[in-house]
Amino acid sequence: MKTDDVVKLYDKYVMTTYKRVPLCFDKASGTKVVDIDGNKYLDFFPGWAVSGTGHCHPMVAASVAKQAKKLMHVSNNYYSVEQALLAKAIIDSSFPGKVFFGNSGAEANEAAVKLARKYGHDKGKYEVITMLKSFHGRTLAMITATGQDKVKKGFEPLPEGFKYVPFGDIEALKNAISDKTIGVMLEPVQCEGGINIASKAYMNALRALCDEKGLVLIFDEVQTGMGRAGKMFAYQNYDITPDVMTLAKALGGGLPIGVCVASAKFQDVLAPGTHASTFGGSPIVCAAGLAVFEAIKKEKLLANTNKMGTYLVKRLKELQKKYAFIKEIRAMALIIGVELKINGEEIYKLCMEEGLLINCTQDTVLRIMPPLNVTKLEIDKAIAILDKVFKKVKS
């Protein structure tokens, strides 16, 4: 089959919920992708931040293959070794507490909001405040939690109990709190929202405010977690700890997973029978997650992420000097946004033609998130392609 044939099948049989580009992956390893027509690409946004350890990391692939022959799925009314060990790995690298396993980012956030609501229920509190430009997923509750109108349009009436304030504005948050408010949910770095990074002062004020008002502070680390921020979790670049944290994307190394992590005070709020997920925390997915943790440790990927993040930003700043349409570069380790004064859609497409896969979000922000094991050589290749494309756009 060629890409054209696959596109025809999609046109006939797959719902057109996505604006897809005509590229059909055949195989991939690390940053290297080969499509079914034999074209090669350098992937600097692998799997929409899912393949954080790169495509088909050998340790993840081996762990999944081994587990597939042994035990793939057990119902959650039994126990599994892999789920226990992955829960321990997550808690050991974050804060004391317990985890709930689901299958996606949206599901992890649903669990977090349900936890907050359950916690507030007897006090008559249910409202969760989220941020404008946030992104929390596509279920009905999560499009409501998401602070962007474009994801909600046409799906009204939406569930009650969400309010929005500008990201980074502590006064607005203070003013939005009512006697019904029970929680605040935000991403430490808004990724879909254009790589907007919370300041330390804001995070400190946020923690103090939530403590003062008795609010559950929820961090959505679905995209920022698992090493991409140079620490295992982005919040660890600040001096505070959330009450609840959600993870997904890179945690499964390519397999679907979503986790809600609750700190000790909140770990038993979701009592037996209050929440569930049939596929959640299956042995095969947890075996993948355990291998991701092992790979990050064994290959010292946090150190590499910091080093390569610094290097990539340095190289991007050189391009910024050459091209006046580059407005700003925002980064936390390998979470990188290049804000342009022009629309980035064409740049994204030209990069693809030249063999570099990146992303463009909020129309003007190029999102560059190579895997944690990216090398200097790969960065130099990507920069050369960006330079070539920028030159074309300028002329």
Ligand X SMILES: *Cc1c(COP(=O)(O)O)cnc(C)c1O
Binding site for ligand X (CB under 6 A): 104-106, 109, 135-137, 187, 191-192, 220, 222-223, 248-249
Indicate the residue among 48 and 178 with the shorter CB distance to ligand X: 48
Which of 32, 14, 36 has the alpha carbon at shortest distance from 24?
36
CB 117 to ligand X: min, Å: 18
Gap between the Cα atoms of 58 and 288, Å rounded: 11
* 191, 223 contact by CB (below 8 A): yes
What's the closest the beta carbon of residue 32 comes to ligand X, in angstroms?
Answer: 24
Q: CA–CA distance from 299 to each of 26, 147, 352 (Å)?
A: 26, 37, 29
DSSP state of 251: G
Dihedral of CA 323/326/328/331: which sign? negative
Residue 195 or 389: the one with the smaller Cβ distance to ligand X is: 195
CB nearer ligand X, residue 225 or residue 283: 225
**156: which DSSP letter?**
P
Q: In whole angstroms, give the CA distance from residue 115 to residue 134.
A: 20
Cα 269 to Cα 120, 162, 262, 290: the distances in Å are 10, 20, 9, 26
Residue 243 CB, shortest distance to ligand X, in Å, is: 17
Residue 258 CB, shortest distance to ligand X, in Å, is 6
- Which of 24, 335 has the CB closer to ligand X? 335
State the nearest-atom distance from the C-beta of 222 to ligand X, in Å.
4
* 371 close to 336: Cβ distance less than 8 angstroms: no
Q: Pick between residue 82 and residue 192 the one whose CB is nearest to ligand X.
A: 192
Tell me whether residue 130 or residue 379 sits nearer to ligand X (CB atom). Answer: 130
DSSP tag of 17: -
To ligand X, the closest distance from the beta carbon of 189 in angstroms equals 9
Q: Give 80 or 109: the residue with its C-beta nearer to ligand X.
A: 109
Give the nearest distance from C-beta 119 to ligand X in angstroms.
21
Residues in the chain: 395
DSSP SS3 for 103: coil
Nearest to 367, CA basis, from 189, 185, 108: 189
Q: How far apart are CA 371 and CA 355, in angstroms?
A: 17
Q: Give the distance between the most distant pair of CA atoms in the chain.
A: 63
Q: Which residue is nearest to ligand X (CB)?
A: 105
Shortest distance, CB of residue 231 to ligand X, whole angstroms? Answer: 17
Q: Which is nearer to ligand X, 255 or 340 (CB)?
A: 255
Q: Spell out a b/e string for 261-287, using b for 16 or more CB atoms within 10 Å of the CB, else e.
A: bbbeebbebbeeeebebebbbbbbbbb
